[in-house]
Amino acid sequence: MRSMVDDARIPKPGFWSNWSSWEEADAQNSLGHDPLFVFPKDKLVEEGSNVTICYVSRIHQDNISCYLEGVQIYGERLDRSVSAFELKNVSFIRKKGTNVFCKVDQGGALGGIVLFVSKVLEEPKDFSCETQDLKTLTCTWDPGSDTGLSKQPSQSYTLFESFSGKKTLCKHRNWCNWQVAQDSQETYNFTLVAENYLRKRSVSILFNLTQRVHPMTPYNLFPKNVRATNATMTWKVHSIGNNSTLLCRLELLAEGKVIQQHNVSIKVNGEYLLSELEPDTEYVARVRCAYTNHFWKWSELISQKFNTAEAAPSEAPDVWRNMKMVSGHPTVSLFWKPLSKVHANGKILFYNVIVENLDKPSRLEVLSIPAPARSTELTLDQCSYQIHVTAHNNVGPSPASVIVISGDPGNEEVESGRVNGTEDGFSVSWKPQSGDATGYVVEWCDGPQDLPCVLQWKNLGPNTTSTVISSGAFRPGVRYNFRIYEISAKRMAHLLEKKAGYLEELAPSDNPQVVMSNLTSHSFTLSWKDYSTESQPGFIQGYHVYLKPKAGEQCPPAFEKTVLPEDSVCCKHTIDNPEQKTFVVENLQPESIYEFFVTPYTSVGEGPLDAFTKITTPDEYSHILIRIILPMIFCVLIVMIICYLKRQWLKEKCYPDIPDPYKSSVLSLIKSKENPHLTIMNVNDCVPDAIEVINKPEGSKIQFLGTRKSLTETEFTKPACIYLLPTEKNYSGPGPCICFENFTYNQAASDFASCGHFPVTPQAPPHQLGPLTSPENLLKALEQNYMNSLGEIPAGEANLNYVSQLASPTSGDKDSLPTNPPEPALCSEYKMQMAIPLGLASAPPSENSSLSSATLLGQGEHYR
Amino acid sequence: MLACLCAVLWHLPAVPALNRTGDPGPGPSIQKTYDLTRYLEHQLRSLAGTYLNYLGPPFNEPDFNPPRLGAETLPRATVNLEVWRSLNDRLRLTQNYEAYSHLLCYLRGLNRQAATAELRRSLAHFCTSLQGLLGSIAGVMAALGYPLPQPLPGTEPTWTPGPAHSDFLQKMDDFWLLKELQTWLWRSAKDFNRLKKKMQPPAAAVTLHLEAHGF
């Protein structure tokens, strides 16, 4: 054992004493009766130390295992009952210490220690001392980390001043107060000693007290006499010693930025006049002070907010107008922009609009429009007016903004141009028209055309011929129209140019509604006249007409083959004139299916790919047929209608109920063409050979002709015909069914009548009519009669064969046959009157037979 | 038969188990005490985990079972089963009360030694709960008419690590304190459950009474 004095007052290095003599001790016997002991107990070491641990056991050592934090460690066996373990470079694990324990594997005996590892004590950093009032020194430092072991309290701090020899134990870890001595000690040499159980660290500073003055924060900072452009700031400071002067810095901030800075030397009260202020503006004044004798540190800041007073607006409002005719009267919409805060100099309460007629003297019209309105509307007449607009706040009016409106709007038609949009906006330029322009105005609407116009304008100087119009409201794909006005010396505006442009052109968003017309077998016409090129998201440069022909067919000549985005091939025709809104698709195949689609295109691209419209070209001749058939059908309809309307007349003309030979036009035709000597045979002139009176029911006739039933069953069930011999020339009493038979006529023709030519009596039985009961017999009879008649006809009378069939129940002869009351009238038999030319009659027998058959059938038809 | 029914209904308010307006007895207090022990068991499980980690290995190892070296003064919860069964209610409650009085005292000492604020908060919260359990046991004892055990002078448990008491042994004491506390809470749950069943009203008596009338 040896020793050394360790005191801060004794300069280092200290001196060690000599080693003491060795003493012997019997450790094992002095321990007690526990089976296992571990040493050293509760040792406190610094981080990085090497520690030797040993155990003493009363049992066999092979059964003992030792662990450091649960991990087995292996040591050196020193003795039969003692083993040692060396732990190198131990580190801090936890405040509650590192656990080392040994245990007997079977017996359950256990012994252990807790090794407390402390972090190395750090030297205090940033040690400094200062005073606020030259009475108390405050020393501060950064203590660094503290291990905070339960075995060892936190390190202590002691402040020692070498000149006075005083020291104080600091109550806080990072600061300490020191009372300045009354003996006006100026220089101080402080040593700060940090100490724990294991180590001691110190740091020293030497300084002059007056060079470590850190004044206290000023107080009572207030504005005084605040006006529109100036204000006085006052404040106070804590005095430091006697007659000490402080340097104070007064700063003025507007919108967070320092705009003025002033240094003021004061003892206790500070005052400063701040000038060049803006009216109606919020400012912040702040002040801080330092010791004038020796600058060490600024004090903390004190701030104060204040507002300057209002002043009259300093600038005329920016006014613009828009003229239009409402109900025949020129109406002016006046717009003005709110004055900026810099120029308003206070809250704008209202705007005054003074309207002065320049053409004739009249009273000034004054309108007062309360803020925040930005426009008004004036209805004027055809005179010229000068309009003054002023903005008013609490203090007074602004300078007037003057604008002159001409009663004659003039011809404002000017050429339109295009303007390109860039990221910065629209670069608009123009050509000056007259030399006396006092300025230019560019006017536009912020929104798209289909929205209400939010009129915007920009005033430009007289020497300007271009400007960049930028607005946060500009959007890509919207057409903006700019109008450039020239302001004359008389304050009148004249439209110079019109420009239209897009901030960024886009591809068309929709396609036109296409109407297809004039469809023929080889062409059709497409038109989209309703498509407006103005309201598109880009300048329409033209149109693409897409056509899908049927598979395998080539594109028409005006088209070129192209591939659509969906990889389908079709034909495309480009129309490069945006105003051409019709197109004729030609050279098509008849009876073919085509699909078409029209889309506009801009410089960016074409419109969306919509669905194709399908059409089928018609047949090549169908239109011709339609042209012919339709008029024919129409004509036929007309004729039918006329026939229907004139049916009575037609009936009389063509097929009267009682034909009148004298009225027959047929006769006149035959007469004129064939034989001019043809005359009408009068019945009265004929001498009848025989008179057939037929009386048979109508229904029986129908049966005979329609069903061809046997005559024995039908016609002769009731005697119908009465045959009269032509014995009396003047007999004029025709019965209900009377056949006149004249042998000067063709016998065959007369045989066609339903009446037979057999000279039978009325009482004749029906079977006597056998030869006519079948058609074959009838035809045979006809042939025979015909051949006979040819031989019997006299040469002088053979030029006309006439069969007269008269059965007129309406004639007056009916009274002459009282024996046949009403019945016969129902079965009056009609016989066709024919005038057959001789040539026709002399035809070969075969032909005559066919003719007779036809006549018979025609007769039958008539009955039906 | 009808007369019997009327007689039963007439005497029904007189049956103690069905008389709701009377004193509920110690039953609810015992139930609450039982619930509190279960809650404390749950709370201690979390606290012990945190605290044993704070002590470090081997104390936080699950199979660590050191000899009870320096924790002789801690009240033992383990008892022979026959002995436990033969305990009367008063003795049972008295042992509980005394055990928790001691354990609470040791636990407060543990709280003072804790180095971290979080751990101190957890320990303080648990001590408050344990104080509540102690009060609850006292309430049950009072309801049953048993006097509270008076601590003998000089036997007040103290938390004195002492110079001879090494830090390792102190950690062993802390370990055993938490372990005994856990065992005591488990035993108390059994105790109060037994007591609860014992104090339940004899509801079957009513049934038997009714059956006696021929129902």
Task: Write out the DSSP string of A368-399.
Answer: EEETT--EEEEE--SS-EEEEEEEE-SS-BPP
pLDDT averaged over 10-residue windows placed end to end, chain A, 864 residues: 76 79 77 81 90 85 84 87 90 90 81 91 92 91 83 87 90 91 82 91 92 94 93 93 88 94 93 93 95 92 94 92 82 90 91 90 87 88 89 93 78 79 86 85 82 84 89 86 88 88 89 88 88 86 87 81 81 90 87 88 88 84 77 92 88 76 64 60 65 56 40 40 42 43 42 40 41 43 43 40 42 39 40 40 38 36 37
Q: Which of B68, B168, B171 has the most A C-beta neighbours within 10 Å, making it the best mutation to test the interface with A?
A: B168
Starting at the edge strand found earlier in the chain, the sheet holding A269-274 runs A219-224, A231-236, A269-274
Q: What is the pLDDT of residue A696?
A: 56
Q: Which of A66, A73, A96 has the most B C-beta neighbours within 10 Å, making it the best mutation to test the interface with B?
A: A96
Write out the DSSP string of A443-457: EEESS-TTS---EEE
Asked if residue A562 lies in contact with residue A571, where contact means CB atoms within 8 angstroms, the answer is: yes
Token representation of residue A81 = 């009952």
Q: What is the pLDDT of residue A390?
A: 94
Q: Measured between alpha carbons, how far is A859 from A851 in angstroms, rounded to an integer?
A: 12
* B153-206 confidence digits (pLDDT tens): 555 555 554 445 788 888 988 999 999 999 999 999 999 999 888 877 655 443
Residue A356 bridge partners (DSSP): A386
Q: Is A67 helix (H, G, I), strand (E, B) or coil?
A: strand
CA distance A112 to chain B (A): 6
Q: What is the pLDDT of residue A247?
A: 94
Partner A contacted by B55 (CB < 8 A) = yes
Q: What is the pLDDT of residue A739?
A: 43
Tell me which residues of chain B, numbers 112 to 141, contact chain A at a CB-CB cutoff of 8 Å: 113, 115-116
CA distance B50 to chain A (A): 13
CA distance A143 to chain B (A): 20
Partner A contacted by B61 (CB < 8 A) = yes
Partner A contacted by B167 (CB < 8 A) = yes
Token representation of residue A408 = 């004659």
Q: Measured between alpha carbons, how far is A218 from A223 in angstroms, rounded to an integer?
A: 15
Partner A contacted by B81 (CB < 8 A) = no
Q: Do A148 and B168 touch (CB under 8 A)?
A: no
Q: Measured between alpha carbons, how far is A379 from A323 in angstroms, rounded to an integer?
A: 10
User: A205 Cβ partners below 8 Å, 6+ apart?
Assistant: A127, A128, A129, A189, A190
CA distance A222 to chain B (A): 47
B116 neighbourhood in chain A, CB within 8 Å? 95
Token representation of residue A389 = 């607009």
Q: Do B171 and A69 touch (CB under 8 A)?
A: no
Q: Do B56 and A93 touch (CB under 8 A)?
A: yes
A108 neighbourhood in chain B, CB within 8 Å? 67
Q: Do B168 and A112 touch (CB under 8 A)?
A: yes
Say how many Å lie between the first and final Cα of chain A, rounded: 167
Q: Which residue has the higher pLDDT, A729 or B130?
A: B130
Q: What is the pLDDT of residue A556?
A: 84
B67 neighbourhood in chain A, CB within 8 Å? 108-110
In this predicted structure, the answer to whether residue B14 has a pLDDT above a threshold of 90 is: no
Q: Measured between alpha carbons, how far is A216 from A196 in angstroms, rounded to an integer?
A: 35
* A766-817 confidence digits (pLDDT tens): 444 444 444 444 444 444 444 444 444 444 333 444 444 444 443 334 343 3
Query: For residue B112, what is the nearest residue in chain A, using CA coordinates?
Result: A150
Q: Measured between alpha carbons, how far is A575 from A543 in angstroms, rounded to an integer?
A: 5
Asked if residue A841 lies in contact with residue A803, where contact means CB atoms within 8 angstroms, the answer is: no
Backbone conformation region of residue A256, classed left if phi is above 0, alpha if psi is from -120 to 50, else beta? left
Say what the pTM is: 0.50
B55 neighbourhood in chain A, CB within 8 Å? 96, 99
Partner A contacted by B54 (CB < 8 A) = yes
Cα Rg of chain B, angstroms: 23
CA distance B114 to chain A (A): 8
Q: Do B167 and A67 touch (CB under 8 A)?
A: no
Question: Rounded to the nearest 10 degrees, what angle do helices B117-143 and B27-55 cross at?
Answer: 160
Q: Which of B58, B113, B167 sits opposite A114 (nearest CB)?
A: B167
Q: Which residue has the tokens 């200062």?
A: A130
The HSE-up count of residue A743 (CA atoms within 13 Å, CB side) is: 13
User: Among candidates A538, A665, A682, which has minimal Cα distance to A599?
Assistant: A538
Q: Do B167 and A109 touch (CB under 8 A)?
A: no
Amino acid at the residue A688: P
Q: Do B168 and A94 touch (CB under 8 A)?
A: no
Element (H, E) at A224: strand A219-224
* A608-641 confidence digits (pLDDT tens): 887 888 888 887 777 677 778 888 999 999 999 9
A93 neighbourhood in chain B, CB within 8 Å? 56
The backbone torsions φ and ψ at residue A248, rounded to the nearest 5 degrees and listed phi first, read -110, 140
Say how many Å lie between the first and final Cα of chain B, rounded: 9
Q: Measured between alpha carbons, how far is A747 from A782 in angstroms, rounded to an integer?
A: 9
Element (H, E) at A699: helix A698-707
Q: Is B165 helix (H, G, I), strand (E, B) or coil?
A: coil
Average pLDDT over residues B26-54: 90
Write out the DSSP string of A110-157: EEEEEEEEEPPPPPPEEEEEEESSSSEEEEEEE-------SSSPPPEE
Q: Which residue has the higher pLDDT, B56 or B154?
A: B56
**Other C-beta atoms within 10 Å of A705: how many?**
18
Asked if residue A134 lies in contact with residue A182, where contact means CB atoms within 8 angstroms, the answer is: no
A110 neighbourhood in chain B, CB within 8 Å? 66-67, 69
Query: For residue A114, what is the nearest residue in chain B, using CA coordinates?
Result: B168
Q: Do A110 and B67 touch (CB under 8 A)?
A: yes
Q: Do B166 and A42 touch (CB under 8 A)?
A: yes
A150 neighbourhood in chain B, CB within 8 Å? 113, 115
CA distance B26 to chain A (A): 45
CA distance A38 to chain B (A): 10
Largest Cα span, chain A: 208
B166 neighbourhood in chain A, CB within 8 Å? 41-42, 113-114
Q: Measured between alpha carbons, how far is B104 from B124 in angstroms, rounded to an integer?
A: 11
A42 neighbourhood in chain B, CB within 8 Å? 166-168
Backbone conformation region of residue A243, classed left if phi is above 0, alpha if psi is from -120 to 50, else beta? left
Q: What is the pLDDT of residue B43?
A: 92
Q: Which of B52, B61, B167, B174 has the most A C-beta neighbours within 10 Å, making it the best mutation to test the interface with A?
A: B167
Query: For residue A102, what is the nearest residue in chain B, using CA coordinates?
Result: B58
Element (H, E) at A824: helix A823-826
CA distance A201 to chain B (A): 25
Question: Rounded to the nearest 10 degrees, what angle do helices A698-707 and A845-863 cross at?
Answer: 130
Q: Measured between alpha carbons, how far is A724 from A690 in angstroms, rounded to an integer?
A: 6
User: A638 Cβ partners below 8 Å, 6+ apart?
Assistant: none
User: Among candidates A269, A267, A303, which has minimal Cα distance to A285?
Assistant: A303
Q: Measured between alpha carbons, how far is A124 from A157 in angstroms, rounded to an integer?
A: 9
Write out the DSSP string of B68-126: -SS-TTSPP----HHHHHH--HHHHHHHHHHHHHHHHHHHHHHHHH--SHHHHHHHHHH
Q: Which of A101, A111, A148 sits opposite B115 (nearest CB)?
A: A148
Q: Which of A93, A95, A113 sits opposite B168 (nearest CB)?
A: A113
Number of A/B CB contacts below 8 angstroms equals: 55
